[in-house]
Homo-oligomer: A and B are copies of this chain.
Amino acid sequence: MRTEPARVLLVDDHALLRTGVANIINHEPDLRVIAEAGNGIEAIEAWDQHHPDVTLLDLRMPLMEGVEVVRVIRERDPSARVIVLTTYDTDDEISRALKAGAKAYVLKDIAADALVGCIRDVLAGKTYLAPAAAAKLAEGVTRVQLTPRELATLTLLADGKANKEIASELDISERTVKTHLAHLFEKLGATSRTEAVKVATRRGLVRLD
């Protein structure tokens, strides 16, 4: 006798991609997409309603970020299995997703059978990292750890603000802003603000879009 197929929740803001993935999954006798969601809020609702065996989740969605969704789901059920399926592979996003409790991190250029294999692995209790993602993490052994204030400063910096404006927004002196900036330059290996923004963007610490 055969057991019931594993129940999959599919979350991505691109309907076209959902269709494609759903098709691949439903093609497998042991897997079945039981719900879809197009943003983070819907994802949580769907998860509450269905309690799927595994959730395929995009980061970068409207309304609620993917990492946050992972966190909420794992809060509801610490044994929940979430696979992050995304386009981007900055070391920051990868490590944040894994830290939040994702079991796997795969990129959207993955082949269909590899994705299916990954889902089965995760259902079997294993974890899976896309080679590219693993490499990014490895090189990130020298991971930058920014303090809250440094991150705040960096965010405003990337927004094109001047030191004076940053100081005023954070309600600190311009001198302190310079200190944070000096630390940022140090940690990011940059020598100027524009270079810092470039490096931070590459690493996924801030986003300009």
Using CB atoms and an 8 Å cutoff, list the residues of chain A in contact with chain B: 13-24, 38, 87, 108-112, 115, 157-162, 190, 192-199, 201-202, 208-209
Contacts and interface: CB of A to CB of B under 8 A. Distances in A.
A86 to B, nearest CB: 11
B19 A18 contact: no
24 contacts: A15-B111, A15-B112, A16-B20, A16-B24, A16-B112, A18-B20, A19-B21, A19-B23, A19-B24, A20-B21, A20-B22, A23-B23, A158-B194, A159-B195, A160-B190, A160-B192, A160-B195, A161-B195, A162-B192, A193-B194, A197-B208, A198-B208, A201-B209, A208-B208
A104 to B, nearest CB: 15
Nearest to A111: B15
A160 B110 contact: no
Contact of A108 (B14, B109, B199, B201): B14
Q: How many copies does the complex hold?
A: 2
A87 B17 CA distance: 11
Contacts of A19: 20-21, 23-24, 112
Q: Is the interface of A mostly helix, strand, loop or mixed?
A: helix
A108 B110 CA distance: 18
Contacts of A15: 109-112
A162 B110 CA distance: 39
Given A19-B24, A19-B112, A196 B87 contact: no
The 7 closest A-B pairs by CB, nearest first: A20-B20, A160-B195, A19-B20, A201-B208, A14-B108, A160-B198, A160-B194
Contacts of A22: 20
B108 A17 contact: yes
A111 B14 CA distance: 9
